[in-house]
């Protein structure tokens, strides 16, 4: 039986860079998750008889929202609902499952790298049939629907057992509980040379950050690739991630960083985030920035079986450094620059214009799914190290010797009052026309603009995607506000300097002048009251 539940709209259900992310206590309000899930289903077409995938990163509220979403999906007409056992699916594994099962789409429950627990964050994202995040025209329609919704419908049924593989009937829908790891592991085995990785006998520390990649990493790294037991650390997904931020950067993966800089470092240190789509790569005494990692993976991808025929193109988000562009140039393939957000890569991948994509925010991936993929990046690194016999450090040095180096850092000012952050961006946008020709120390502004993107496949235009200040000699500053936070605003300032020959300098020293120019241009201290960033990555 389908029961109708009267409701009223919540005004704040606008999806951000990657779905709707809010505090758990916001999501726990009666009707809050239900309204959003129903709004998704009200907007998408073709539900009758279709398949839907549901899974999440195991954070607090995951199981409860999955049970509700199953009942609403069954009432909406889906014939089959495929759910990861225990409610677990990493974001890339969910993307793979959507594609494999030819599903209409999927619900991914995650707030990614944001912390979890009763006082922390939760999120819901809808992915479409290609396995990728819904494009803006769908998320806009979902938001519009949330503003008008007055009823949600659910099959009147009890909670189902999420922990046992098999099928259960919920109304007219069949709910299938599946192994969250098996299909994904099989895909990785097709893309990469597992025997070569095994034979290289590399040592590694992989920090799953008590988040979703634990079960995937245990299976692939320790069971399939024979890395020593204990290679995977923090490998059990916990609802509160053990009280940590599951964000694989130098602040939140500090223990891994310290290990890799110390005398007992293994060959490779790696980590992934809450939902398994981000990655961190550190060699012995060598941190690789995500922008460099993209460039190095692209330059060497042909060494892995899945990419032996070469790449069709390389795409990066605008704030990501231009290191990958230099690789594309040398390979004679196109380079694409998109706004921040993986959803912008989907069309390029579907159209066969790009094979590898990446972002400064620690995301790298390829056309094997339509999400960024943390373990995929780790495995491609391992495949390249095995094929070349080089260390991470040697590979990085050789890369810079060939292409030059894009020194790069991101400064985050977190929890800034939204009004103050908006004022900073508005003032900056107002100054853009006056900046070309202006000098800041030794730096001369060449161009300054507010990035707008026209999708080459469907002509859709996305404006106001971040302010770019380009200096003579290819140095650059980008300013934008985060689209994934759940309280206040986060100002992100991206600093970049290209050097063709001086490739072995200290990043902080190389970016000092540019950082000073960023404050002078945007008035960061004046607007935010902060004299240093909270996080530098």
Q: Contact positions toward ligand G16, by CB under 6 A?
A: 17-18, 112-113, 277-278, 317, 340-342, 359, 361, 363, 482-484, 492
* Beta carbon nearer to ligand G16, 51 or 320: 320
* Beta carbon nearer to ligand G16, 26 or 79: 26
- What does residue 118 show for φ and ψ, rounded to 5 degrees? -55, -30
CB of 4 to ligand G16, least distance (A): 33
481 C-beta neighbours (distance < 10 Å), count: 17
* Beta carbon nearer to ligand G16, 317 or 366: 317
Where helices occur in 194-286 by DSSP H, the ranges are 194-200, 213-217, 254-261
CB of 95 to ligand G16, least distance (A): 12
How far apart CA 358 and CA 313 sit, in angstroms, is 12
The one catalytic residue in 95, 112, 210, 366 is 112
Q: Decide if 462 is catalytic.
A: no
Tell me the Cα Rg of the chain: 23
Longest dimension (CA), the chain: 72
Residues near 449 by beta carbon (within 8 Å), at least 6 away in sequence: 432, 467, 468
CB of 351 to ligand G16, least distance (A): 19
Contact 478, 468 (CB under 8 A): yes
CB of 462 to ligand G16, least distance (A): 13
How far apart CA 223 and CA 99 sit, in angstroms, is 25
The number of angstroms, rounded, from the C-alpha of 196 to the middle of its chain's C-alpha atoms is 28
CB of 247 to ligand G16, least distance (A): 9
Residue in the block written with tokens 């189902």: 160
* Beta carbon nearer to ligand G16, 235 or 339: 339
* Beta carbon nearer to ligand G16, 361 or 383: 361
Q: Which helix or strand (DSSP H or E) is residue 126 part of? A: strand 121-128
* Beta carbon nearer to ligand G16, 322 or 443: 322
How far apart CA 155 and CA 152 sit, in angstroms, is 10
Residue in the block written with tokens 């920090």: 207
How far apart CA 104 and CA 47 sit, in angstroms, is 7
CB of 443 to ligand G16, least distance (A): 25
How far apart CA 171 and CA 410 sit, in angstroms, is 50
The number of angstroms, rounded, from the C-alpha of 58 to the middle of its chain's C-alpha atoms is 17
**Enzyme catalytic residues:** 112
């Amino acid at each position: 039986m389908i029961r109708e539940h009267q409701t009223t709209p919540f005004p704040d259900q606008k999806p951000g860079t990657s779905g709707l992310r809010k505090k758990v206590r916001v999501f726990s309000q009666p009707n809050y998750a239900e309204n959003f899930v129903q709004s998704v289903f009200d907007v998408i077409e073709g539900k009758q008889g279709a398949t839907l995938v549901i899974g999440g990163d195991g954070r607090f509220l995951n199981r409860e929202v999955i049970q509700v979403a199953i009942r609403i999906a069954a009432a909406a007409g889906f014939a089959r609902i495929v759910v990861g056992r225990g409610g677990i699916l990493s974001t890339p594994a969910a993307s793979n499952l959507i594609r494999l099962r030819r599903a209409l789409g999927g619900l991914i429950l995650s707030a990614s790298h944001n912390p979890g627990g009763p006082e922390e964050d939760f999120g819901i994202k809808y992915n479409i049939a290609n396995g990728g995040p819904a494009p803006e025209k769908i998320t806009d329609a979902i938001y519009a629907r949330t503003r008008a919704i007055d009823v949600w419908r659910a099959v009147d049924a009890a909670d189902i057992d999420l922990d046992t593989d098999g099928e259960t009937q919920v109304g007219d829908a069949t709910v299938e509980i599946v192994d969250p790891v098996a299909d994904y592991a099989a895909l990785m085995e097709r893309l990469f040379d597992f025997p070569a990785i095994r034979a290289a006998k590399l040592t590694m520390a992989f920090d799953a950050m008590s988040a979703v990649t634990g079960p995937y990493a245990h299976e692939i790294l320790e069971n399939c690739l024979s890395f020593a037991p204990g290679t995977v650390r923090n490998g059990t997904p916990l609802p509160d991630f053990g009280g940590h931020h599951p964000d694989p950067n130098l602040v939140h993966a500090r223990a891994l960083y310290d290990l890799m800089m110390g005398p007992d470092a293994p060959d490779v240190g790696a980590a992934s985030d809450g939902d398994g789509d981000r990655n961190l790569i550190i060699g012995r005494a060598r941190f690789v920035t995500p922008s460099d990692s993209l460039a190095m993976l692209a330059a060497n991808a042909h060494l892995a079986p899945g990419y032996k025929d070469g790449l069709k193109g390389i795409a990066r988000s605008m704030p990501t450094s231009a290191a990958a562009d230099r690789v594309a140039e040398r390979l004679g393939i196109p380079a694409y620059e998109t706004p921040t957000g993986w959803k912008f890569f989907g069309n390029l991948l579907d159209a066969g214009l790009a094979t590898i994509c990446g972002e400064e925010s620690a995301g790298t991936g390829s056309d094997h799914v339509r999400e960024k993929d943390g373990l995929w990046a780790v495995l491609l690194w391992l495949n390249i190290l095995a094929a070349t016999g080089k260390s991470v450090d040697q590979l990085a040095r050789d890369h810079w010797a060939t292409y030059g180096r894009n020194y790069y850092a991101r400064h985050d000012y977190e929890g800034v009052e939204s009004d103050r952050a908006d004022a900073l961006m508005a003032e900056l946008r107002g100054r853009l026309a006056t900046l070309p020709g202006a000098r800041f120390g030794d730096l001369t502004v060449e161009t300054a603009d507010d990035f707008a993107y026209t999708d080459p496949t469907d002509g859709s235009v996305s404006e106001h995607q971040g302010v770019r200040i380009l200096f003579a000699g290819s140095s650059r500053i980008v300013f934008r506000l985060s689209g994934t936070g759940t309280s206040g605003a986060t100002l992100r300032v991206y600093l970049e300097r290209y050097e063709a020959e001086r490739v072995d300098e200290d990043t902080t020293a190389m970016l000092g002048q540019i950082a000073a120019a960023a404050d002078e241009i945007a008035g960061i201290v004046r607007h935010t009251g902060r004299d240093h960033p909270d996080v530098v990555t």
